[in-house]
Amino acid sequence: MTGRLIGTRQAVWAAVVVLGLTSGGVIGGGAARADNGIDRLSAQQIADRSRDALLSARSLRLSAHGDLGRGGNPSMALDLILDRDGNCTGSVDLGRSQGSVRIVKRGDDVWVKPDANFWKSQVPDSGPAFAAILNGRYMKGSAADPRLRDVVNGCDLDTFRNLFGDHADNGRGTLNKGRRTTLDGAPAVPVTRLGDGRTLTTYVAATGKPYPLRITVRGGGANAVVGFSAFDEPVPTATPPQNQTYDINALLSRRISPL
């Protein structure tokens, strides 16, 4: 078993979603109270201001589900609350009975809890035995453990901020501004980019800071939704109790025979 089992699917899929949607340069806004006047700006101005607002966030909730048309699983889902100090809590669901993983990182400690379907589908030989040993508990390890590198990177908001910053100017296609609308009760202005056979629509909040509310991508085999919320709200501090954890080194050093 390696860090690939534990973290890569979570971190890479999140990165692919963010990279795929922000590479067009369309990043949106969040909900607040005072009108921010973005509906009077051009589509490019909205994109620029919302990018800056997103990069300023100290923490946020990132949720994503769907298929980006790259051979992925259309029922995959991701839900993470993370901050720039590297703390996070959330889960990734691989869909189609492939299993899910709960993730908690606080300071220098990391907890990971794959479910039985994950062990069975991702580690068919010895996974069921590991699942039996854990019996619903979290594996606990150090953030410095190379096997957990992908989880640690995926839990750090700076990882995603770097992706936003590095790719926000790689615009391709035609950028258009839509009419002001309401998204989940919040006023928003949609900004759409058409290109490469896909339609990317970002709903930018029309009140408060222009943080992202939602991004949808359609076409070219893609059908995905990414949501942003809980801007600058603290990551929950609760961590799994000791009696619900199992040391990852102790687990992986055991001799396991396939069940």
Over residues 154-164, the pLDDT tens digits come to 888 887 777 65
Confidence of residue 221 (pLDDT cuts 50, 70, 90): confident
**Of the listed ranges 80-94, 99-113, 165-179, 243-257, the one predicted with least confidence:** 165-179
Higher pLDDT, 65 or 16: 65
pLDDT of residue 60: 94
41 DSSP assignment? S
DSSP 176-244: EE---EEETTEEEEEEEEEETTEEEEEEEESBSS--EEEEEEEETTEEEEEEEE-TTPPPP-----GGG
Distance CA 81, CA 64 (A): 12
pTM for the model? 0.82
Q: Is residue 246's pLDDT more than 70? A: yes
What pLDDT is recorded for position 255?
58
Question: H or E element: which one contains 48?
Answer: helix 43-56
CATH class of 3-94+148-232: mainly beta
Tell me the pLDDT band of 24, cut-offs 50, 70 and 90: very low
CA distance 160 to 213: 16
**CA proximity to 156, closest of 61, 83, 55:** 83
Q: What is the C-alpha end-to-end distance of the chain, expressed in Å?
A: 16
Q: Write the CB contacts of 124 (distance below 8 Å, at least 6 apart in sequence).
A: none
Please check the confidence at residue 56 and state whether its pLDDT lies above 80.
Answer: yes
Strands 138-142 and 245-247: parallel
198, 220 Cβ separation under 8 angstroms? yes
- Find out whether 195 and 24 touch, Cβ atoms under 8 Å: yes
Q: Where along the chain do its domains lie?
A: 3-94+148-232
148 pLDDT tier (thresholds 50, 70, 90): confident
* Residue-wise pLDDT tens digits, 171-196: 567 889 999 999 988 999 999 988 87
In 3D space, the residue among 242, 244, 194, 184 whose CA is nearest the CA of residue 214 turns out to be 184
> Is it the case that residue 128 has pLDDT exceeding 60?
yes
